[in-house]
Structure 1
Amino acid sequence: MDKIRRPSHAGSWYTDNPKKLEEELEGWLGATGLTKSPDVRGVIAPHAGYSYSGRAAAYAFGNIDPTNITRVFLLGPSHHYYTPKCALSTATVYKTPIGDLPIDLEVIEELKATGKFELMDLQVDEAEHSMEMHLPYLVKIFEGHPVKVVPILVGALNTDNEAMYGRLLAKYVDDPTNFFSVSSDFCHWGSRFHYTHYDKKCGPIHKSIEALDKMGMDIIETGNADAFKQYLSEYDNTICGRHPISVFLHMSSNCSTKIKIKFLRYEQSSQCKTMRDSSVSYASAAAKVDA
């Protein structure tokens, strides 16, 4: 008997009309002009409502060549549920308005057996949007290619645990049939986010935010998890997927495959000009096998 995770954010964060959703995704993917590459083994993509970040996300998902991929690991931050660990889904199917993605129960069991993961109940799973916002894109990209997902909710991990989960998951990177979808928005700026870092040397506020995000993106591209940690502790940039990104950096430095991350798109929900303004940044990256 299937245990279904409903697309709880369809109809609010993105359209629940299948035809309209297909058209939107096709439009955004087409507009990127990207060539699909079998060397792309992972993406970092935003998870805001599609009216804000749908277009930016296409610059991550548009790189994926689905031909040889049979499994997608989803790493998303936890927004509502506190855990110092990573949690696994207890669902067997993730539904979307345009198709369903079965959960890879075999890998879930394998991860469970390590004793390092907790389980999230369906309520926690459905309340969280960070992985759900990647699902319609995955359904679209993998149309006609059978693929299973391994959803991992990444909690408020300390540095040691980020490294531990990275080492534990690294072996999956070496299997070219596995793919990794890492969910993160970038700077959440404004008093409503309790974050108003502003370096006047950069010019207007939105340029200061961009400089701060770009600094973080450059560090992520080096693949150095410690340097990313250092950057976060220095600037406290409100990157909500900092833990999933850190785990992914540890994964790529602990596997035998050489992985290179490159950012392809950066956008802001609005351009902040005064201290009363607010915005969220969106950045999309592809992680490629570096020959």
Structure 2
Amino acid sequence: MSVRTATHAGSWYSANPSALLHQLTGWLKAAKQDPIPNSRIIVCPHAGYTYCGATMAHSYASLDMGDGPLRVVMLGPSHHVYFKDKVLLSGFKQLETPLGPLDVDTQTVNRLTKDYPHLFDLLPPEGDEAEHSLEMQMPMLRATLQLRGFCKPDGSSPPVTVVPMMVAPRFDEWDLRDVGEVLALLCTEPIHTVFIVSSDFCHWGSRFDYTAYVPDNVSLKEVLQGSKRIVNLRKEPEPAGQPISESISMLDHAAMDAVTQGVKDAYEDQDNDALAQWERYIDRTHNTVCGRDPLGAALAILPCLDAAKFAVHWLDYSQSSAVKSVRESSVSYAAGCITIEQ
């Protein structure tokens, strides 16, 4: 098989090309976000477009795509295939979307799996087509490219290739810093390379096995410092403090702050480790950020770029619903980017 089928078209998003393009370009324009110079890593959600498309569009609108050949590396988590200690790359040559195909950078895929077999391997085709975390990026990417003047039918626009990657969950023996070192090499090559980190934020509710709660800023600070354990509402009375949805927002914004501070520290002192700060936040809150390891791999790139300048911009945040009771659930969506000036 050489073409990956758009398996989620018609369910997670529209399979009608004109309706889908109208919807996605509408969100991209509504974001009112100009491309941010040197925006090389974006963080964006991967739920159904009706839930997260408006937030997702802020990330894509910020992306600096350059004006020449473009390589887009997609980093996503696995919801279907279990594996560890590896990054699995798509073995397809082309990715189908209702808006037109995306070409896989097979040369980069072959090079990574050949030169770094301890880190990179091929993703089984059935696991590739079952996964939504990467597929949900593809139509939005295609819509953004078309809006920016890429992907013209006459071939007059700069070539674009993609490298879909699925990142294994973090284990003790699995050091994402090794992956970051290899990904950083892609940044130093002549082709303009950008990274898409596919990640929803907090999955809150009993069905996600996460009902954490912080009543106020003081409590959150104590949790982040490690001096207090986070409250589990399945074992505690209904909260007397702020609404649950506000607590979720507070936890998610603390996650964003951890990324921002980690990147700031890495820029000011390359001995500081943005990945370590991110993992410390996860360890203390257990926030169910499903793309925490893809985001960790992206953060691991930064210390490997000598004399580069980094900055984080968070652009939008939303929730699928405003949770008021432990019997309810929600998923959070955040849009942001990291600029890398070399």
TM-score (norm 2): 0.82
Partner of 1:238: 288
Aligned mates of 1:177, 1:163 — CA distance in 2: 22
Cα distance, 1:212 vs. partner?
0.4
Question: Please, which runs of 5 or more residues in structure 2 have no aligned partner?
Answer: 151-157, 217-240, 264-273
- Counting matched residue pairs gives 290
1:183 counterpart (170, 177, 198) = 198
Partner of 1:258: 309
Partner of 2:219: none
Aligned mates of 1:185, 1:93 — CA distance in 2: 25
1:169 matched to 2:170: no
Partner of 1:279: 330
Q: What do the CA deviations read for 1:39-82 (whole angstroms, capped 9, x no partner)?
A: 11120100000000011000100112432351000101011111
| Aligned AA (2:176) | E
The DSSP-based 3-state class of the residue aligned with 1:96 is coil
Q: Is the 8 A contact 1:4 1:95 kept in 2?
A: yes
Partner of 2:267: none
Partner of 1:134: 137
Aligned mates of 2:252, 2:215 — CA distance in 1: 15
Aligned mates of 2:42, 2:75 — CA distance in 1: 10
Aligned mates of 2:245, 2:120 — CA distance in 1: 39
| Aligned AA (1:117) | F
The DSSP-based 3-state class of the residue aligned with 1:282 is strand
Aligned mates of 1:26, 1:192 — CA distance in 2: 33
From the superposition, tell whether residues 68 and 259 of structure 1 become closer, same or farther in structure 2 (CA, over 3 Å): farther
Q: Is the 8 A contact 1:260 1:290 kept in 2?
A: no
Question: Please, which runs of 5 or more residues in structure 1 have no aligned partner?
Answer: none
Partner of 1:63: 62
| Aligned AA (2:192) | T
The DSSP-based 3-state class of the residue aligned with 1:208 is helix
Aligned mates of 2:145, 2:25 — CA distance in 1: 13
Partner of 2:225: none
Partner of 1:6: 5
Partner of 2:76: 76
Cα distance, 1:262 vs. partner?
1.7
1:207 matched to 2:222: no
Q: Is the 8 A contact 1:108 1:150 kept in 2?
A: yes
Q: What do the CA deviations read for 1:64-103 (whole angstroms, capped 9, x no partner)?
A: 2432351000101011111111101110001100011110
Partner of 1:44: 43
Cα distance, 1:38 vs. partner?
4.0
Cα distance, 1:290 vs. partner?
4.5
Range with greater deviation from structure 2 (138-147 or 41-50)? 138-147
Q: What do the CA deviations read for 1:182-219 (whole angstroms, capped 9, x no partner)?
A: 10000000001010001123610000000100001011
Range with greater deviation from structure 2 (150-159 or 183-192)? 150-159
Partner of 1:33: 32
Aligned mates of 2:290, 2:326 — CA distance in 1: 21
Q: Is the 8 A contact 1:32 1:59 kept in 2?
A: yes
Q: Is the 8 A contact 1:69 1:179 kept in 2?
A: no
Range with greater deviation from structure 2 (164-173 or 88-97)? 164-173
Q: Is the 8 A contact 2:80 2:130 kept in 1?
A: yes
Q: What do the CA deviations read for 1:212-268 (whole angstroms, capped 9, x no partner)?
A: 000010111222110110110111000000000000000122223333222111100
Partner of 1:268: 319
Partner of 1:151: 164
Q: Is the 8 A contact 1:263 1:285 kept in 2?
A: yes
Aligned mates of 2:69, 2:60 — CA distance in 1: 13
Q: Is the 8 A contact 1:77 1:240 kept in 2?
A: yes
Aligned mates of 2:82, 2:324 — CA distance in 1: 34
Percent of matched pairs sharing the same residue: 38
